[in-house]
Structure 1
Amino acid sequence: MAPARSQAPPPAPPRTLNVQRFAESRAAELESLQAVVSGRLGGDFRIRRGKRRRTTGHRCAKRRRGGGGDGDASGAEEGRGKEKKVSRRVRRRRELCSNPPLGFTTSGDGTKRLRTHLWHAKRFAMVKRWGFYLPLGLQGRGRGSRAVLKWLKNSALVHDASYCLPIQLEGPEDSIQAILRMVIIPAPSEPLQVSENPQHCVFQGVCYENAMLYDVRPPHSQLVAPVMYMWQPYFSNNKNYATEQHDTSNICSSSGESERRTLTRKLWIWIHAAAFEEGIDALRFACQRQVHECGVSVSCLSLEGQLGKLEVMGSRAIELLQKILRPTSKYSAAHENSTLEDPVLTACTSSRHHKDFVLDKMKQLQSHAIRPLLVHDPREVPCQETDAAALDNLQEDINLNSNGLATECSLKNEDILSDGSTPRSHENYLLDLKNVWDSISNTNPPVPEKTLCEEKHQRRLKHFYLDSTEHETVATEGNDSFSRACPILLLKQAEHGSPCMGWSVILPLSWVKTFWFSLVSHGAHAIGLRERRWIACNNVLPSFPYDFPDCKAYLSFMTDEAAALDQAAELRPPAVRPLKVPIPPPWDVLAAVANKGSTILKGFELDEKEFSGSTNENSLINSSTKDGPSFPLFIPRTAENLLQYSESINGKNQVSSHKEPCLVRVLLRAYREGVFEEGAIICAPVPADLSRWKTRSEEKGNEAEELWQLQLPQSYVGSFFTQLESGNWELQLPKDHLAQEAFRWPIGFVTTGFVYGSNKRAAVAFCNANLLAILRKQQWIEAQSRRPEIFVLVRNMRSTSYRRALATVVLEQQKDDLEFL
C-alpha cells in the first residue's frame, strides 16, 4: 500500500479580528438572517408593551412616571447637576472597606473600629468596650474552650490586638531613664550599670521588657496597667562603635558613653486601651516633674492610629509566619528608604531559599527578642524559582567573611542578642533595626485590592498573547502613593513553660487588614477577647484587666459587667432570677479579716465588741465606688517586693510598715473534685478540716478516702454578703448554730475561673499575704513538714458546698510576675 500523504496543518487563527471586514465578507448571510427574523416578527421590531418596564427599571420612580423621550434627556441633565444621595448601607460599606493611611474609623458616637471590624462583625459577637468595637468571641453561648485549646496545641491562632496603643517618649537618654525610674516597677538599671546587667539588650533596643506602670500623682501611687516598653536602637556611624559598646572596663570614662547618654532617643510604651488615657496622663505628669527638677524637656506623644499589632500563637505559629513573610533587602524607589539588610542577606533576597534562611532559625531567639524585617506584600504570589547566581554570591560572601558575617548568616541570634560577640554583625543588626523603626510609622498603605486584581488580569492576558491596551493605564495609575513592601517588627513572646505562646507582629496600621487576610487564608484560627483570656489562664498568665484588681481599669470593667448582669436579671421573672452576688468581689473585707490575725484558725467566734452591728466602723464593707476602694491594694509583682513586705511583718504576723492590705497572686488547683468560677471565695480551713486532708502520696494503697463534706445552709448563702443602700457590700456574720459551725473566714477571691478542657486545671486568685502566712505556719506545725502548697477551702458565690484546693504562691516559683497577656 502506498503511504498516506501527510496533510498540511490548517492555518493558525489570526491574533486580532477586524469586525468590519468580517461583517463585509458575511454581508449576504447577515441579510438573509435579518429577512428570516423580520418575517417571523411581521416587520415589527418594537419591544412588547408588557416588557417595556424592564428598560426603565433603573430610573427613579419620578422619572419613570414622567415618561421618556426629550423629558428623559432633560431629567438626566438636571440629575447630573445634583449629587445622588447614597444610601446609609452603601456609605457605611465604603467607610468600612476603606483603608486610610492613619487613624481608626469611628461610628456616630465616636467609638473606634479596628481595621478588621467588617471581617469580625460577620463572624464574631461584637462588644463596645474601652472606646472600641471589639470581637468578644465566637458566636454561641460563650463556650468552646476545648476547641480553642486544641487549636493552640495543634494549629495556630491569630488575634487583632491593635487596641493596644503605643506612647512615644522622645528626649535625652538620661531624662527618659529618670522618668522610667519614677513610674516603672521594676525600675530599669542605671545607665552606667547597663552593660553589666541582663537588661543590656533592652537598653540597646534588640529586646523589649515588661513592667508595671504606676501613677505617682498624689494622694498615693496606684497601678495603671502592665506595659511593654522598647527602646529605639542606638546606632553610631563611628568606626570605633564596637569598641565603645563592648569595652565595659572604661565605660565610665569613654567619650562615646557620654555622647550616648546625652543623645536624643525614643521609647515606645505599649499600653492597653482600657488604661490608655490614665497612662498617658501619668507619663505627662512625670515629664512635667522632670522639667521642674532638671530643666530638661521630654516629649510624650500618642501614636494612636499609626501602628497596629497582631498576635500569632500556637504550636505552628512560626510555620504560619514562614508561609506569608517573604523578606526583601531594600525598598524600591517609591519606598523612600535605603537598604535594611546586610550585603550577605541581600544576595539571596530573590530566592525562596532566603525565606527559609531567615525564618527557620527564629526559634533560637531568646524570649522578648525583636527581629526587624522588610517583607513583600503577602497577597502577591511568591516566586518559586531559585536564583543560582544569588546563592553563589551568598556562598562567596560567607567564605570571605567566615569569622564575622558567617555568624550572621547562620543566624546565631542568641549570640547577637545576648552579648554581641561579633561587632560587625551586631552593628548590621542594629542598623536594620533602626531603619525599620524609623520607617514603620510613615510607610505608605498597601496597593488596593482592585489594582492587584487588574494587574493579575493583565498577566493572564499576556500569558495568552492577548492585547491589553484598555487596562494598562488603569492598573498603573496611582502606584506612587502605595507600597509593595512593609517594614515589621517580630517580637517573640516569653514561653513561660509553654512553647505555644508565639509572636507579636508590629506593623503600620494600614497594613493590618492585608496581613490579617493572609494569616486567616493560610489556616490561622481567629480568636476574640474571651478566647484570649482562656489561653492566658491555660498558661497561668494574668490577663489585663481581669486579673489586676489594684487598678482602676479593673474596677471600671467589673462595674460595667455588674450593670449589664443586673439589667439582664431584671428582664426575667422574680421567681427565676439568679442570686445577686457582689461584682467586683469585696476586697476590703480581706483587710478587716486580716485584723483578726490567727483567730481565723478557730472558725467562727463572735466578738460583740468588734462586730456589734452591720454599719459600725469595724464592719466588713467593700467600697465599690467609681473612685476605687477606700484604701489602695498592695500587690507585689517581684520576689524582691514580696521579701521586703515579709520582713516588715513582726513575730505576731501583724503588718508594721504597710497599712494597705497586701495581696499575692496564687494558682488554685482543685483537690480531687470541684470547679472554681470567677468570683469564688477562698476561705481558711480550721484544724478539724485538715485532720482528714491527705495527699495522694499519704494514702495507703487502695484505701478509700473518707467522704468529706462541708456545706452552708441555703438560707445563709444569699445573705453571706449583703448590699447596703449605698451600694457597698458587707459580710454578714451568721446567727444560727448550723451556719456558725460551717462558717469559714474569707482570705481571697478568684479572678479567673477554671477553663474547661485545660490539662492544668488552675484558677487565678488573689489572697491576703498575711493570712496565707498564718495558714502555712499552722499547717507546717501540724504536718511537721514544709510543703510549698497551702491547703484552702473554696466556695462559689452561689454554692453551698466548700471544695478543697491547693494554693501556690506565684512569686515563690519565679523571680517576678511581670508577664501578662
Structure 2
Amino acid sequence: MTTDGTKQLKCHAIPPGEVLVQKFTESRAPELDSLCSTVASRLNDDFRSQRNKRRRTTGFDNRASKTRFRNNNKKQKVGILNQAKSDESLEKNVNRAPPRHIRRKKELNKNLETGFCVSGDGTKRLRMHVWHAKRFTMTKRWGFHLPLGLHGSGKGSRALLKWIKNGTLVHDASYYNAVQLQGSQVMFFSYLFFLSVKPQIIICIFDYFLYHFSFNCCFVFLQDSLLSILSTIMSPFSSSDTENVLSGGVYSSSMLHHAGANSSRTIAPVIYMWRPVQQSTNAESVCDRTSELRQLWIWIHAAALTEGYNALKSVCESQGKVRCISLEGQFGTLEVMGSKASQLFQKILHPVSSTSEKSSFLKKCSSVEAVDEHTPCFGIAPLIVKDPRGLTNENTEFDQSCTDLWDAEKGLYCPLEESVLCMEKHHQRLVSFCLADTHSVVVNASTGIHSSRVCPIMLLRRNNLMDSVTRWTIVLPLSWVKAFWVPFVSLGARAIGLRERSWVACEAGIPNFPSEFPECDSYSSLMEAEAAAMDKEAALRPASVKPFSNPIPPPWNCVRLAFETSQICSNESDAVAELALSDNDTAIARSSRMLSGFLNTINGDRLPIFPHFSDKNTCLSKIMKDEKILDHDLNIDSFLGNRCRKVCFVRVILRTFKEGAIEDGAVICAPRLDDIKLWISGSNGKCELQVPQSSVSSYFVKRDSGKWEYQLPEDPAVVESNRWPIGFVTSGFVHGSHKPSAGGLCDAMLLGRLRHEQWSSVPLKQRKKEIYVLTRNLRSTAYRLAVATIFLEHHQEDFDYI
C-alpha cells in the first residue's frame, strides 16, 4: 500500500515466544472440518482401506508349519501344553546354534591376521569372496572359490578393451603364493670369536669390509648356496644375475623345473626376488645384521603350488643349509592395469613421512609420482602407505613398530576395524558442527589383534601391455586386501575375473598360465576339468542336437605327421603310427637361448629361424635381405636324424590375412604355395578352401585309452583338401578388438621350412618377416589365411605371464 508514491517497508511479525495449543486448534477447526467433509463426499463416507491397496502381511501365509507354530504359541499362553515340554523346548532354543546364513556371514566378515576362510569341502575363499559372489559367476579352481567372470554368456569384451585403454582394471590375485628360501649367514671372520678377540676389533673389521665391499662379502657363502639351488631347479637360469636383481631392486622370471636331468617336466613359470641388502656403517646396526638372513621369495601360481613347493623343499633338504618356508595365507596380491592406473595410485597410495633406515626408499620417492618415475620395468618399489580408508586430513607419521613384509613370520599388523573408523568419522563430523564434547576422546575397541594405521606394501612394475599401458602388482598383507579393494573400486577401478583377465592377456600378447603352458602338469589338470565340464553339459542335451566332441586338450603329438608329407601315403597307417609323439617327446622354447640350443642339436643353422639377438645392430630385417641366406637346400631328413628326437614348439602371434575369427583350440596348418597365391590374388582376398562337412567330426579321433589322435584321411577328395597340422591355438581372438590377435604354439622346424619355401618363391624385396599359415576352427570347414610372428625373434625371453 502506497500513499505518496514511495514504498512502505514491510515489517515481518515476530513469532510469539509461546504457542497455546488449544487456541491454535480452535482457529484451525473450521478448516479441518471442511477438509474432512470434502474427503467424505469423495469416498461416500467409506473410510475403510481398499483391499487391493493393503500391504502384504504374514497373515496371508497359510502354511501348516506357520499354523502349527501359532497354535502352539496360543496353547503356551493358556497353559494347555505340558510345562515340562515347554521348559525343554525353551532350553533347546537357548542352546540352538544360529542359522547357517548368520554363521557364514559372521565367519566371512572376520578379518583374520593370516589364512583364508575355508568352506565345508576344504575350498578356500578369498578375502573379497562375498563382494565377488554378489557380482560374478564363481567357480572352483586350484583349491579356491574364484570369480570366473561377470554374469551372462561371457560377452562384454568390447567394453573391457575400451576400459583398459581409458580406465583402470583391478583383479584379486591372492591365490598366488610365495615360497621363502633363507639360511643363516656364514661369516668369514667367525673364527675370531674362538680366539677371544675383543668385540670392538670385530666391529672395526666388519665395518671395514662393509665400507669397502658394500656388505656383499658377508653374504657370499649363503648367496652362493641360494644361487646353486636356483640353477638346479630353474631353467634357464644365469648364475651371474644383474646387480639390481641380487640387491632386491628388480625381480626376475624363469621356469621352475624338478631337480635332476634337463629332460624333467616343467612345473610353472615363477617370479623370484631377493631381499634388499641394507648398506650401513653404523656399528650398532652392524652387530644387529650379523644375525640377519639372506632371503629369497619365489612366487608360484596356486595351480602349481603343491608341486613347486615339494620340488623346492626336496632341493633345500639336500643342500642342508637353506630353509624352505611356505608363506601361504600371509600375503595378498592385487593386479592393477590400465592407462589411468598411475592416476588412481595418486588418490589411494599416500606414503608416510619417514626418517627410518628401513624405509630409505621413501627419501627418494616421497610420492607416487616419484615412484612411477623412478621405478623401471620389472622394478620393485617398497612403500609404507597410510590406510586408504582413513580421514583425508589425517597426518600419519611413520610407525617404528611397523613390520616389514620380509619379516612376515614375526607377524603383520591388521588394519583398524570398520567400527573404529566409523566412530572416528562420526566424531569428527560432530566436531565440525560444534555438537561434540571437546573433552570426549574416541576410544578404540579392543579386539585383541594388533592394528595399525599404516601398511607396508610392494609395488611391482610389470611389463607394459599394448600401447604402453602400465601394469602393476601390489603385494600387501592379506588382512589389508579389503582395506585397499573397496577404495580402488569406489574411485573408478573396474573389477575383473579370470575370463576377463584372459582377454587382457590375449589382447596384449602375454601368455596366460596355465592355459598356454602345455608343458606343465597344471595345464593337463585344467584341460581335464574343462573336458569333464563339456561332457557333462553335452550329456544333458538330446542326441538329435548333441554336438560332436572336440579334443581337449589338443593332440600336440600329431604335428610330427607333417614332417614327411610327401612320403606318407593314405595306406601307410604303420608309418603314421611311428611318427606320432608321446607327451614326453615335446619341448617348448621359452627363451632365445633355448631355441638356439635346439637348433644347434639338429644342425639347424640352415633353417631361417633367427632367435632374438642381443646385438642391436643385428636384426631380422637385415638378415632377411641377405641373398645367401637360402643357398642351402633344405632336406627334412637331414634334420630328423632319428624319429625319436623331440619336437620344439615356439609361441607365435597370429593375425588373419583379411577376415575371420580364430577360436581357442583351432588347428594351425601348413599352406601350399598355390593356396597363398589364390588368397592374395583372389577377389577381396578370399579363397574357398574347405574340408568336407563329413570329415570335420572325424578329423581327430578319440581312442579307447582316452587320448586323441589325428585321423589320416582315406578319401582322395579329402586328401586333396587336407592340410597338415603344425600347431594349435592356445588363446583365441578377443571380440571387439581393433587389431585382433591370437596366440598359438607351432613346431619351430616346420615354421622354418615354411619360411624357406615362401621366401624362395618371391623376389628378395618381397620377403616378409611373418610366415603365412592356415587356421581352421575345430567346428568349421573353412580354412583361413593368417600370418604368424615368432615371438622369440623379437624378444629375448617369453617368461612374462599373467
Change over 3 Å in CA distance of 1:78–1:568 after alignment to 2 = closer
SS at match of 1:67: helix
Match of 1:393 in 2: none
SS at match of 1:662: strand
Change over 3 Å in CA distance of 1:178–1:799 after alignment to 2 = same
Pairwise CA distance, 1:693: 4.5
Match of 1:729 in 2: 708
Change over 3 Å in CA distance of 1:480–1:468 after alignment to 2 = farther
Pairwise CA distance, 1:780: 1.3
Larger displacement relative to structure 2 (492-501 or 313-322)? 492-501
Change over 3 Å in CA distance of 1:84–1:781 after alignment to 2 = same
Q: What letter corresponds to residue 641 of structure 1 in structure 2?
A: M
SS at match of 1:576: coil
Q: Distance in 2 between matches of 1:464 and 1:261?
A: 56
CA contact (8 A) 1:440 1:487 kept: no
Choose from 659, 664, 667 the match for 1:681. 667
Match of 2:462 in 1: 493
Q: Distance in 1 between matches of 2:270 and 2:234?
A: 9
Match of 1:533 in 2: 502
Q: What letter corresponds to residue 339 of structure 2 in structure 1?
A: S
Choose from 694, 704, 710 the match for 1:715. 694
Q: What letter corresponds to residue 677 of structure 2 in structure 1?
A: S
Match of 2:141 in 1: 129
Q: Verify: 1:692 aligned to 2:689, yes or no.
A: no
Q: Distance in 2 between matches of 1:514 and 1:712?
A: 56
Match of 1:664 in 2: 650
Matches within 5 A, 1:514-663: 514-594=483-563, 596=564, 600=565, 606=569, 608=571, 610-612=572-574, 617-618=577-578, 620=580, 629-650=582-603, 652-653=635-636, 654-656=639-641, 659-663=645-649
CA contact (8 A) 1:318 1:502 kept: no
Change over 3 Å in CA distance of 1:538–1:6 after alignment to 2 = closer
Match of 1:270 in 2: 299
- Spell out, residue by residue over 1:310-365, the C-alpha distance to the aligned partner (whole angstroms, 9 max, x if none): 0111000011111111211359xxxxxx665459959xxxxxxx97x443551442
CA contact (8 A) 2:466 2:507 kept: no
Pairwise CA distance, 1:288: 2.8
Q: Verify: 1:188 aligned to 2:238, yes or no.
A: yes
Choose from 333, 337, 342 the match for 1:309. 333
CA contact (8 A) 2:349 2:368 kept: no
Change over 3 Å in CA distance of 1:220–1:466 after alignment to 2 = same
Change over 3 Å in CA distance of 1:88–1:263 after alignment to 2 = closer
Change over 3 Å in CA distance of 1:102–1:471 after alignment to 2 = farther
Q: What letter corresponds to residue 309 of structure 1 in structure 2?
A: T
Match of 1:89 in 2: 101
- Spell out, residue by residue over 1:92-120, the C-alpha distance to the aligned partner (whole angstroms, 9 max, x if none): 11111111111000000000000000000
Q: Verify: 1:741 aligned to 2:720, yes or no.
A: yes
Choose from 229, 232, 247 the match for 1:204. 247
Q: Verify: 1:300 aligned to 2:324, yes or no.
A: yes
Pairwise CA distance, 1:471: 9.4
CA contact (8 A) 1:377 1:485 kept: yes
What is the TM-score when the length of structure 2 is the normalising length?
0.76
Pairwise CA distance, 1:290: 2.6
- Spell out, residue by residue over 1:172-196, the C-alpha distance to the aligned partner (whole angstroms, 9 max, x if none): 2211110001111231333xxx5xx
Match of 2:226 in 1: 176
Q: Verify: 1:150 aligned to 2:162, yes or no.
A: yes
- Spell out, residue by residue over 1:754-781, the C-alpha distance to the aligned partner (whole angstroms, 9 max, x if none): 1112233110000011111111111111
Q: Distance in 2 between matches of 1:677 and 1:4?
A: 81
Change over 3 Å in CA distance of 1:219–1:345 after alignment to 2 = closer
CA contact (8 A) 2:658 2:685 kept: no
Matches within 5 A, 1:151-550: 151-171=163-183, 172-190=222-240, 194=241, 199-217=242-260, 220-238=263-281, 264-291=293-320, 297-329=321-353, 340-342=358-360, 345=363, 357-360=367-370, 362-383=372-393, 435=404, 437-438=406-407, 442-466=411-435, 475-478=444-447, 481-495=450-464, 497-550=466-519
Q: What letter corresponds to residue 815 of structure 1 in structure 2?
A: Q
Count of paired positions: 669
Pairwise CA distance, 1:686: 1.8
Q: Distance in 1 between matches of 2:384 and 2:293?
A: 25
Change over 3 Å in CA distance of 1:188–1:497 after alignment to 2 = farther
Pairwise CA distance, 1:370: 1.0
Q: Distance in 2 between matches of 1:725 and 1:318?
A: 55
Match of 2:204 in 1: none
Change over 3 Å in CA distance of 1:375–1:231 after alignment to 2 = same
Match of 1:756 in 2: 735
Q: Distance in 1 between matches of 2:161 and 2:281?
A: 51
Determine what percentage of the aligned residue pairs are the same residue: 42
CA contact (8 A) 2:231 2:238 kept: yes
Pairwise CA distance, 1:744: 0.8
Pairwise CA distance, 1:282: 1.3
Q: Distance in 1 between matches of 2:147 and 2:412?
A: 27
Q: Distance in 1 between matches of 2:394 and 2:464?
A: 33
Q: Distance in 1 between matches of 2:362 and 2:743?
A: 48
Pairwise CA distance, 1:374: 1.0
Q: CA-atom RMSD, angstroms? A: 3.9
Match of 2:123 in 1: 111
Q: What letter corresponds to residue 386 of structure 2 in structure 1?
A: H
CA contact (8 A) 1:104 1:113 kept: yes
Q: Verify: 1:767 aligned to 2:755, yes or no.
A: no
CA contact (8 A) 2:140 2:146 kept: yes
Q: Distance in 2 between matches of 1:617 and 1:812?
A: 33
Q: What letter corresponds to residue 372 of structure 2 in structure 1?
A: M
- Spell out, residue by residue over 1:676-733, the C-alpha distance to the aligned partner (whole angstroms, 9 max, x if none): 1011111111232233353xxxx7xxx9557421111111111111111221222111
Pairwise CA distance, 1:564: 0.4
Pairwise CA distance, 1:204: 0.2
Unpaired segments ≥5 residues, structure 2:
1-8, 22-56, 60-65, 184-221, 607-634
SS at match of 2:452: coil
Match of 1:801 in 2: 782
Q: What letter corresponds to residue 658 of structure 2 in structure 1?
A: R
CA contact (8 A) 2:253 2:272 kept: yes
Unpaired segments ≥5 residues, structure 1:
12-25, 27-50, 242-255, 292-296, 332-337, 347-353, 391-430, 622-628
Q: Distance in 2 between matches of 1:261 and 1:456?
A: 45
Q: Distance in 2 between matches of 1:4 and 1:448?
A: 57
- Spell out, residue by residue over 1:135-192, the C-alpha distance to the aligned partner (whole angstroms, 9 max, x if none): 00011101111111111000001000000111111122211110001111231333xx
Change over 3 Å in CA distance of 1:343–1:791 after alignment to 2 = closer
CA contact (8 A) 1:233 1:434 kept: no
Pairwise CA distance, 1:618: 2.4
Choose from 760, 773, 777 the match for 1:792. 773
Change over 3 Å in CA distance of 1:10–1:638 after alignment to 2 = farther
SS at match of 1:266: strand
